[in-house]
Structure 1
Amino acid sequence: MKPRYYYPLTFSLLALVGGGCGNLNTDLAIPDLPMPASFRDHQDKPENAPVTQIDWREYFADPNLLALIDKAVANNHDLQIALQRIETSRASVKLANAAMLPKVNLNIGGGVQKFGLYTMDGAGNASTEITPGQIVPEHLTDMFVGLQSSWEIDVWGKLKSQRNSAAATYLSSIDAANLVISNLVADVAVYYSELLALDHELEIIRRTIAKEQEALDVIKLQKEAGRANELAVQQFQAELLNTQVSEKNTLQKIAETENQINYLLGRYPQPIERSTQIFFSEKSHELSAGVPSQLLENRPDVRAAELQIEASQFDLKAAKAAFYPNVNISATFGFQAFNPEFLFTTPASIAYSVFGQMIAPIINMKALEAQFNTAKANQLSAMYNYQKTILNAYVEVANQLSNIKNLRETSTLKKQQSDALKQSVDVSNELYKAARATYLEVLIAQQSALQSNRELIDVTKQQRIARISLYKALGGGWR
């Protein structure tokens, strides 16, 4: 009749636990942020290829750049770290799957025990035969060889939620690695473009130095002939020295940019192979920006953020399931005896047990509530991060579309300005030789031409970088 008293107690405990879970809401939501149907002030051309159809090996035409990107993808340390995170996530999925299966262990053990005579065990052993004609030894050995098993039955879906969370985290880690690849491809291409621009800038500076040296030699001769004074000589000399300083600064920038590329390639500093002629002549694909909703599929950071929401949802469900009782079954089967000669020789040494239990949390509810609230905050954070990632993706694409349009118009104007100032240098030199222009006008023409040429190179570099940035912003570079 005793068991009757346990049933009401058991149901009372379940009711108490269930009552404490009544306010555990897992259906969370945040204010929606609708995505625009198109990018502002942008119309795609039908003949432009969608970014998803262009591999980076096709998008970039420079073979030297392609070789650098290949080495970076193979050796970059950040990418290798990201790949190891994938392995860690894959192991977590296997661990979560294993938690849903019974655990079976081989147990081989033994020991010795002596009970006091004036105890229930000692008194019983002193008068009990363990084998016919032999009482239980005072020093009782105990040997066991067999299997032990335990299994937590996933009644409430906690283990399944943990497994699904691990799977979503694993997929998110893959997209995180794809994001590293996309950024790496873009970074190598950007630094390569900066290096080509510096090469052209160095070439312009050196040509300017040669012309300024010629002008200085002329002014010195004119001074000897009485047609110029020392002030003019000093002005030309100062301008030449200033340009030579610019040459040294540019050489330092070239060295630093080469080193940055080598760092991305995971190697120590060495010269970077490149062809400067392709800087102005390279033709790249015209990208189709498509519609903003395609960013959800193309950009690995958006995909990773979406998977993080999925993982956090399963974490929240697992945290809720922790409030309910755990149902565990344990069992053993093997051979047990006090003497090795009896361990396997008789069926009497066979030992087994089966035990089931249900463990319900009572005292530590506050700790479980804290875990649930943490999981809830993590899911809301993942939702806001997803919205933030989408917004950032849209803004990046919109910025680069606008940037490319304005840089195209700026480049046309800069080319016209550069051609005009180049002619002004030749004209000012001829006029100065004919005493129809002052040396200050010659200096101003040279300075303006140098500055204009450097600005033209910079605009061209920005155009290349803008196309690279748009390619990355649209989700290119990782496939």
Structure 2
Amino acid sequence: MYRWSLLLLLVTVLAGCKMGPDYMRPDVPSGESWRIAPAATESIANLSWWELLQDKELQNVMQIALTENQDVRTAVASVDQYRAQLVMTKWDLAPSLSYGASAFMYHTTGGDATTIPGGGGAIVLPGQAGKDSTTFSNTIGFGNLKWELDLWGRLRRAVEASEAQMFSQEENQRTVILSLVGSVGEAYFGLRSLDLQVDITKRTLKSWEESVRLSQLRYKQGYIPKLDLDRFEAERAGTAAKLADLERQVVQKENQLNALMGRKPAAITRGLPLTEQPMPPSVPAGLPSELLQRRPDLQQAEQTLAAATANIGVAQAARFPQLALTGAVGGANANLSGTSIGPLFIQNVAASLAGPLLNASALGYQVSVNEMKARQAALQYEKAVVNAFKEVEDALIAVQKTREQREAQEQQVAALQSALKFADQRYQGGRASYLDVLTSQRSLFEAELALARTLQTQLVSVVQLYTALGGGWSVTEHPEQNLPDPRVQKNISARVQ
């Protein structure tokens, strides 16, 4: 009794051991403030995406994309797969119990004895010597038990690795959602920018057509040379070509948005014009330390590192013996020529110990392989952190400088509009050459297109900062006032939560 108690105590102590290192988050510098923006406790990433992107049609497009986008749905399915895999891994810690049954019958001719399989030898039955006999036997095993005692923590480390992999896939799902929010916002603002450029180009083309018409009259009356008329017609043709190119880009941008929404190409309903899109008065970035907890791609990289660390323990434990308890409980019955022997009750308990011998060196190399994988995962995590800080800093400077650029270009457009007005008056009065009008009109056209692109860049930079800070991936809340279409609301399901 004392020996069994000592053995039980030893097994209990060993079962509390786990081979391999425990996971610890690597030290990465975060700083107290951003390089460009001052320190702030609030962050624009605290806003829900529908609070930042207030265009109702954009919200409609975003809802459809979050529900129907194939990448999001694939990420959800991947999470379900790894969740099921975790359950399977946890079951390895529990005893396994199986059942089975068998039955057979055979006939013997002559002889002095009848042998019952599994009975340990021949049994001579009275009155059966030298006669034919028929044997029927059945066995039912209803308690085949096997339980591996996790002495070195191999199974528990495997559970840790599987759990970290599941968490990594959950963060990957959020990363996909975050990327989708940014992509849809950028594509929509790009579409509205192209719409504005098309309007500018059409207005400019109409102005050139009027200039060509007047120039043709003046040329026929002999007031201007053919060179002036050719110049105006060339500018009109160039503007028409620009319009055709912009219209091509509009359709392609609509196709891009439809692809993000997971559907075939179709027209996109527009919302607010680019010049009327809400612009947040300030875009605080919050504290750098928040980035490690907020950005899902960093969480994903960290969980990948945690899984790789746990796999080191799995490989180390595989080098040690594995102790398993087995047992069986069952029953058997034999019937020989109508004479029943049984039933028989069968039970057994055993312990098995198995460990590597010739492959011990190979298992040692497997430990080294897993250690190198963990080292690579740690470097990838550090790289992801560095890249995240870079993206935030890039977005911060873009928000700041595009605002300054937009203000300067607005002044430039206003000045060029005034210059064109006076140049045209002077040309019509014969006090200036056509070159003044051409130069002013061309400069105004290019400045207006540039301003439209800068407006787009400014809006996109805000979206990029929002996603770089880790905002926009939560889709678990949907205020009623921000669900523009009941058909879209009906499609929102738990698969994107």
- Asked if the contact 2:333–2:341 (Cα under 8 Å) also holds between the matched residues in 1, the reply is no
Larger deviation: 316-325 or 345-354?
A: 345-354
2:321 corresponds to 1:313: no
Number of the residue aligned with 1:86 = 79
3-state secondary structure, aligned to 1:66: helix
Give the CA deviation at 1:469: 0.2
Give the CA deviation at 1:101: 1.1
Larger deviation: 346-355 or 364-373?
A: 346-355
- The residue type paired with residue 242 of structure 1 is G
Aligned length: 449
- Cα distance per residue 1:166-211 (max 9 Å; x no partner): 1111111111101111111111010000000000000000000000
Aligned residue runs from structure 1 range 60-71, under 5 A:
60-71=53-64
2:336 corresponds to 1:349: no
Q: 1:453 to 1:94 in 2, by over 3 A?
A: same
2:54 corresponds to 1:58: no
2:400 corresponds to 1:405: yes
- Asked if the contact 2:321–2:356 (Cα under 8 Å) also holds between the matched residues in 1, the reply is yes
- Cα distance per residue 1:42-74 (max 9 Å; x no partner): 21467xx42453111212111111111111111
Between the aligned partners of 2:106 and 2:272, the Cα distance in structure 1 is 86
1:129 corresponds, among 105, 120, 123, to 123
Number of the residue aligned with 1:393 = 388
Q: 1:141 to 1:53 in 2, by over 3 A?
A: same
3-state secondary structure, aligned to 2:219: helix
- The residue type paired with residue 150 of structure 1 is K
Between the aligned partners of 2:93 and 2:182, the Cα distance in structure 1 is 43
- Cα distance per residue 1:387-427 (max 9 Å; x no partner): 11111111111111111111111111101111111122221
Aligned residue runs from structure 1 range 294-305, under 5 A:
294-305=290-301
Number of the residue aligned with 1:74 = 67
- Asked if the contact 2:279–2:459 (Cα under 8 Å) also holds between the matched residues in 1, the reply is no
Give the CA deviation at 1:278: 4.9
Aligned residue runs from structure 1 range 210-221, under 5 A:
210-221=206-217
1:446 corresponds, among 441, 445, 448, to 441
Give the CA deviation at 1:77: 0.1
Scaled by the length of structure 1, the TM-score of the pair is 0.87
2:186 corresponds to 1:193: no
Between the aligned partners of 2:407 and 2:76, the Cα distance in structure 1 is 44
Number of the residue aligned with 2:89 = 96
2:355 corresponds, among 340, 349, 360, to 360
Give the CA deviation at 1:347: 6.0
Between the aligned partners of 1:327 and 1:123, the Cα distance in structure 2 is 31
Larger deviation: 329-338 or 179-188?
A: 329-338
Larger deviation: 273-282 or 51-60?
A: 273-282
- Cα distance per residue 1:297-332 (max 9 Å; x no partner): 110011111111211111111111000101122222
- Asked if the contact 1:197–1:279 (Cα under 8 Å) also holds between the matched residues in 2, the reply is no
Between the aligned partners of 1:358 and 1:389, the Cα distance in structure 2 is 44
- Asked if the contact 2:178–2:473 (Cα under 8 Å) also holds between the matched residues in 1, the reply is yes
Give the CA deviation at 1:348: 3.9
Between the aligned partners of 1:78 and 1:198, the Cα distance in structure 2 is 27
- Asked if the contact 2:334–2:342 (Cα under 8 Å) also holds between the matched residues in 1, the reply is no
Aligned residue runs from structure 1 range 102-121, under 5 A:
102-111=95-104
Between the aligned partners of 2:217 and 2:460, the Cα distance in structure 1 is 46
Give the CA deviation at 1:444: 1.3
Give the CA deviation at 1:234: 1.4
Aligned residue runs from structure 1 range 28-67, under 5 A:
33-44=28-39, 49-67=42-60
- Cα distance per residue 1:52-111 (max 9 Å; x no partner): 531112121111111111111110000000001101110111011111111111202234
Number of the residue aligned with 2:140 = 145
Between the aligned partners of 2:118 and 2:461, the Cα distance in structure 1 is 90
- Asked if the contact 1:29–1:380 (Cα under 8 Å) also holds between the matched residues in 2, the reply is no
Number of the residue aligned with 1:279 = 275
Give the CA deviation at 1:365: 1.5
Number of the residue aligned with 2:11 = none
Larger deviation: 327-336 or 191-200?
A: 327-336
- Asked if the contact 2:135–2:336 (Cα under 8 Å) also holds between the matched residues in 1, the reply is no
- The residue type paired with residue 75 of structure 1 is E
Scaled by the length of structure 2, the TM-score of the pair is 0.84
- Cα distance per residue 1:358-390 (max 9 Å; x no partner): 001000123212321221111111111111111
- Asked if the contact 1:200–1:276 (Cα under 8 Å) also holds between the matched residues in 2, the reply is no
Between the aligned partners of 1:123 and 1:333, the Cα distance in structure 2 is 18
Q: Using the aligned pairs only, state the percent identity.
A: 26
Give the CA deviation at 1:128: 2.6
- Asked if the contact 2:189–2:274 (Cα under 8 Å) also holds between the matched residues in 1, the reply is no
- Asked if the contact 1:199–1:276 (Cα under 8 Å) also holds between the matched residues in 2, the reply is no
2:232 corresponds, among 236, 242, 261, to 236
